[in-house]
């Protein structure tokens, strides 16, 4: 699912790793306007005209949230294993390879520690460009380790979810990652450390039905699809059209499952102000690099 | 047993009918057919063994969904005849796809929680075909807490196509209900044994499946998505169910070989539906054995063992290839 006409963006290494492509125009998925790519990136991939929040690569997300120069990546080399020798119309092994090439990432998540406005945090950000941000054993393991490091280092956990759910090609191994990550969060809770769950468009299936919905505070980006079952599955089951705005961020706030909707350019400040109240058991804040 | 005969069952049932006929004939005519009967009996047993040892994963899935298969309440009533059912999540509703309540097993109180599909049309509707709503999962967690309060073990029986994908379910937080159970089950201080009795339908089953021991009945399946769903998404062709079932390695034997469940519980030849009472007895024996082992662990050890078990699940590479 790519929000932009792909041919117009030659995916150079620097761009894949979160750099800025130059001299290109992109078409907004929200309003259809052509926007200047550099300006669009500078605005964190939010359309200035209509406010549409476009999918953001994991590393850009980390740049958005983590103080400059403070990010240390963890488990950067971890890769998926094709345990089931899974083959549908394509071999899983080949899917992994092409996803790595396309996204520039080893799997669907980037994790590490850093400071957020000086607060020590362990962050995990999904890479939607890698097989739709699907959760297999690598994603589950890296999230679990992120939580465990937070317990050891007395840091806050921030997970930015953006995922279609469990990765079918790893069968029940994927399913069990839901239990594994959720159990780790029970330990974080016992340690009295905060977990902020940020939900970007889209967050679905086994990701929603595990750690994504377990935040002490749950923040959603505007107009994000957040669901257990996807709209298409539901429409097929109940054989009727779904109401406008169903399963969108605003709908989840209305039904009591999301705390706040925060625009991308305010996300860092909002998390920082929450951590001010939630950090009683956390290691000390360092003076913010950009203060 | 005329409802929903599966293709691979037909030959066996035909032979069984013939055998019955021969037996009654020998009684009526007072002739000695004993050698023919013996031969046919032998043939039948070979046929059964052959058929059921060679089932492919899609056939196994069909057996797991067999319309005559015993459901949660069939097992529960057989194992704990004094079962007393409790209702409601104390917030919104009852969620009748899930049943929960106390029963006595070997003079100890046990909390039984099961996903129940329902037998006839009316009950199937009432049980929503075993596809729980959030309130079912919340009721289950409330009852687990209740068992924990009084120090009683918990046995969960998993048999669902999946958590219900509907408007109300989403409005009332299907994802939150499942997630909440996964996290809280990791912290419960009494023994939990989970058994996949039929269909282990993804997160909707796992939401009751975080046990110290996870067992699967021989002909049950456990998967991240149904073969139909997997075929539709990955093959973009709903008819590729056999391929999808094969690829996902969803049978009890696969799950055990992959280290994702602890034990496979034998079923009567031909499947649990051929002898539900015997199936329940075999299950009871397995439950009893596991309970006795788990009851030796302290509260802290139970939590630690359960968390450590799921912590290990998942294969990956740490070095660049
Ligand atoms: Zn726009």
Q: What percent of chain A has pLDDT over 90?
A: 88
From chain A, the residues in CB contact with B184 under 8 A are 186
- What length is written for chain A? 291
CB contacts under 8 A, B 6-65 vs A, are none
pTM of the model: 0.94
Provide the 3-class DSSP secondary structure of residue A165: coil
Report pLDDT for A240. 86
Is beta strand B192-201 parallel, antiparallel or unpaired with respect to A260-261? unpaired
Residue A136 and residue A47 in one domain: no
Distance separating alpha carbons of residues B157 and B83, to the nearest angstrom: 14
| Average pLDDT, integer, range B161-167 | 96
DSSP A216: S
One domain for residues A14 and A141:
no
Rounded to an integer, the average pLDDT of B269-284 is 96
The band of B193, judged by pLDDT with boundaries at 50, 70 and 90, is very high
The last residue of one of the domains, among A22, A37, A54, is A54
Give the DSSP letter of residue A214: G
Minimal CA separation from A164 to chain B, in Å: 12
pLDDT at A195 over 90: yes
Residue A137 lies in a domain: yes
pLDDT of residue A21: 52
Among A75, A84, A172, whose Cβ lies nearest the Cβ of B222? A172
Residue reference for tokens 């039904």: A255
- Of the pLDDT bands very low, low, confident and very high (cuts 50, 70, 90), residue B3 is low
Helices (H) and strands (E) in chain B, counts: 14, 9
Residues of chain A with C-beta less than 8 angstroms from the C-beta of B209: 179
The candidate with the shortest Cα–Cα distance to B191, out of B310, B81, B104, B300, is B300
Q: Are A104 and A248 found together in one domain?
A: yes
Residues A49 and A83 in one domain: no
Q: Say whether pLDDT at A3 is over 60.
A: no
**A213 with B176: Cβ contact below 8 A:** yes
* A156 belongs to a structural domain: yes
In a domain, A291, yes or no: no
Same domain, A33 and A112: no
Contacts of A244 (CB under 8 A, 6+ apart): none
For residue B4, what pLDDT is reported? 78
* Residue in the block written with tokens 């005559």: B68
**Chain A nearest CA to B252, separation (Å):** 11
Q: Is residue A287 part of a domain?
A: no
Question: Same domain, yes or no, for A113 and A234?
Answer: yes
Q: Which domain, by its residues, includes A39?
A: 1-54
The span from the CA of B95 to the CA of B111, in Å, is: 17
Which residue, chain included where needed, has tokens 């046929």?
B47
- In this predicted structure, the answer to whether residue B125 has a pLDDT above a threshold of 60 is yes
CA-nearest residue to B183 within chain A is: A182
Position A289 in a domain: no
Percent of chain B with pLDDT over 70: 98
For chain B, the average pLDDT equals 95
Q: Which of B64, B166, B224 to mutate to test the interface with A (most CBs of A within 10 A)?
A: B224
Report whether pLDDT(B22) > 80.
Answer: yes
Interface test with B, best of A81, A164, A172 (most B CBs within 10 A): A172
* A213 and A245 in a common domain: yes
Q: Are A124 and A192 members of one domain? A: yes
- Where does a domain end: A54, A69, A94? A54
- Asked if A226 and A139 sit in the same domain, the reply is yes
Interface check for B222 against chain A (CB to CB < 8 A): the answer is yes
Per-residue confidence (pLDDT) for residue B5, from 0 to 100: 87
If asked whether residues A45 and A60 sit together in one domain, one would say: no
CA A242, A244, A249, A255 dihedral sign is: negative
A22 pLDDT exceeds 60?
A: no
Give the pLDDT band (50/70/90) at residue B31: confident
Residue B320 has a pLDDT of 65
Mean pLDDT for chain A? 92
Same domain, A28 and A93: no
Q: What is the pLDDT of residue A7?
A: 36
Which has the closest alpha carbon to B95: B207, B220, B224, B189? B207
Q: Could you tell me the two tokens for B248?
A: 């996902």
B128 vs A227: CA distance, rounded Å: 20
Query: What was the pLDDT predicted at B321?
Result: 57
Residue A6 has pLDDT above 70, yes or no: no
* Gap between the Cα atoms of A28 and B170, Å rounded: 29
Surrounding ion ligand 1 within 5 Å at CB are A 28, 30-31, 47, 49-50, 52
Reported as a pLDDT band with limits 50, 70 and 90, residue B30 is confident
Instruction: Give the up-direction half-sphere exposure of residue B32: CA atoms within 13 A in the CB hemisphere.
Output: 1
Structural domain count of chain A: 2
Question: Could you tell me which of B175, B174, B132 has the C-alpha nearest to residue B156?
Answer: B132
Chain A closest-CA separation from residue B171 CA (Å)? 6
The CATH number covering residue A158 comes to 3.90.226.10
β-bridge partners, A266: none
In sign, the C-alpha dihedral spanning B80, B81, B84, B88 is positive
Interface check B113 vs A, CB under 8 A: no
Segment A59-75, tens digit of pLDDT: 999 999 999 999 999 99
Minimal CA separation from B49 to chain A, in Å: 27
Residues A213, A168 share a domain = yes
Q: What is the mean pLDDT of residues B146-150?
A: 98
Q: In this predicted structure, what is the pLDDT of residue B29? A: 80
Give a yes or no: residue A88 inside a domain: yes
pLDDT at residue A11 is higher than 80: no
Q: Is A109 on the interface with B (CB under 8 A)?
A: no
How far is the C-alpha of B297 from the C-alpha of B305, rounded, in Å? 9
Classify residue A286: in a domain, yes or no.
no
The DSSP letter of residue B266 is: -
Q: Which positions in chain A touch B163 (Cβ < 8 Å)?
A: 209, 228-229
Position B265 pLDDT exceeds 60: yes
For the stretch B209-262, pLDDT in tens is 999 999 999 999 999 999 999 999 999 998 999 999 999 999 999 999 999 999
pLDDT digits (tens, 9 = 90+) for A220-253: 999 999 999 999 999 988 888 999 999 999 999 9
Q: Which of A139, A141, A152, A147 is nearest to A122 (CA)?
A: A147
- Position A191 in a domain: yes
- Whether the predicted pLDDT of A8 surpasses 50: no
pLDDT recorded at residue B25: 86
pLDDT category, A141, cuts 50, 70, 90?
very high
* A227–B178 C-beta distance less than 8 A: no
Out of A21-30, A269-278, B64-73, pick the least confident: A21-30
Assess whether pLDDT exceeds 90 at residue A184.
Answer: yes
Single residue among A27, A54, A81 that ends a domain in this structure: A54
């Amino acid at each position: 699912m790519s929000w932009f006409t792909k041919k117009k963006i030659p995916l150079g290494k620097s761009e894949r790793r979160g750099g800025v492509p130059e001299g290109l125009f992109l078409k907004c998925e929200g309003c259809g306007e052509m926007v200047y790519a550099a300006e669009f990136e500078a605005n964190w991939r939010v359309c200035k005209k209509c406010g549409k929040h476009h999918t953001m690569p994991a590393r850009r997300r980390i740049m958005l949230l983590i103080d400059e120069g403070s990010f240390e990546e963890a488990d950067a080399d971890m890769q998926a294993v094709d345990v089931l020798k899974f083959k549908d119309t394509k071999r899983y092994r080949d899917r992994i390879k092409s996803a790595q090439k396309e996204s520039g990432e080893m799997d669907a998540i980037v994790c590490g520690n850093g400071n957020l406005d000086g607060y020590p945090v362990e962050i995990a950000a999904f890479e939607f460009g890698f097989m739709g941000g699907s959760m297999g054993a690598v994603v589950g393991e890296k999230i679990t380790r992120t939580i465990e490091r937070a317990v050891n280092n007395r840091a806050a956990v921030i997970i930015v979810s953006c995922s279609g759910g469990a990765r079918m090609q790893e069968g029940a191994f994927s399913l069990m990652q839901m239990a594994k990550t959720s159990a780790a969060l029970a330990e974080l809770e016992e340690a009295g450390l905060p977990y902020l769950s940020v939900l970007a468009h889209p967050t679905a299936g086994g990701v929603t039905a595990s750690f994504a919905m377990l935040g002490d505070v749950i923040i959603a980006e505007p107009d994000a699809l957040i669901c257990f079952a996807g709209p298409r599955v539901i429409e097929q089951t109940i054989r009727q059209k779904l109401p406008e705005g169903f399963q969108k961020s605003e709908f989840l706030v209305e039904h009591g499952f999301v705390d706040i909707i925060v625009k991308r350019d305010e996300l860092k400040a909002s998390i920082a102000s929450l951590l001010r109240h939630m950090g009683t058991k956390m290691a000390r804040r360092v003076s913010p690099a950009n203060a | 047993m005329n409802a929903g005969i599966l293709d691979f069952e037909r030959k066996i049932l035909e032979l069984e009918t013939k055998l019955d006929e021969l037996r009654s004939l020998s009684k009526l005519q007072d002739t000695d057919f004993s050698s023919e009967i013996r031969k046919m009996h032998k043939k039948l047993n070979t046929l059964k063994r052959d058929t059921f040892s060679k089932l492919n994963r899609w056939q196994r899935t069909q057996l797991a969904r067999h319309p005559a298969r015993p459901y949660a309440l069939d097992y529960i009533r057989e194992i704990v005849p004094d079962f007393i059912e409790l209702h409601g999540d104390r917030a919104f509703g009852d969620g009748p796809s899930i049943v929960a309540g106390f029963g006595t097993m070997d003079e100890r109180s046990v909390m039984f929680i099961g996903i129940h599909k329902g037998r006839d049309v009316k009950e199937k509707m009432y049980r929503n075909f075993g596809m729980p709503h959030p309130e079912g999962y919340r009721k289950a967690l409330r009852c687990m807490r209740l068992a924990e309060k009084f120090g009683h073990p918990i046995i969960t029986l998993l048999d669902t196509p999946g958590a219900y994908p509907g408007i109300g379910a989403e409005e009332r937080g299907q994802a939150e209900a499942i997630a909440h159970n996964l996290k809280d089950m990791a912290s419960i201080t009494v023994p939990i044994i989970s058994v996949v009795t039929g269909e282990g339908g993804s997160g909707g089953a796992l939401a009751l499946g975080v046990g110290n021991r996870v067992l699967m009945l021989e002909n049950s399946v456990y998967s991240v998505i149904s073969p139909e769903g997997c075929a539709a998404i990955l093959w973009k062709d709903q008819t590729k169910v056999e391929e999808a079932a094969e690829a996902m390695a969803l049978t009890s034997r696969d799950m055990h070989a992959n280290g994702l469940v602890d034990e496979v519980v034998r079923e009567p030849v031909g499947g649990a539906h051929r002898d539900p009472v015997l199936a329940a007895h075999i299950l009871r024996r397995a439950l009893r054995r596991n309970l006795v082992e788990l009851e030796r662990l302290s509260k802290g050890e139970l939590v630690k063992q359960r968390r450590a078990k799921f912590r290990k699940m998942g294969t990956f590479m740490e070095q660049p290839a």
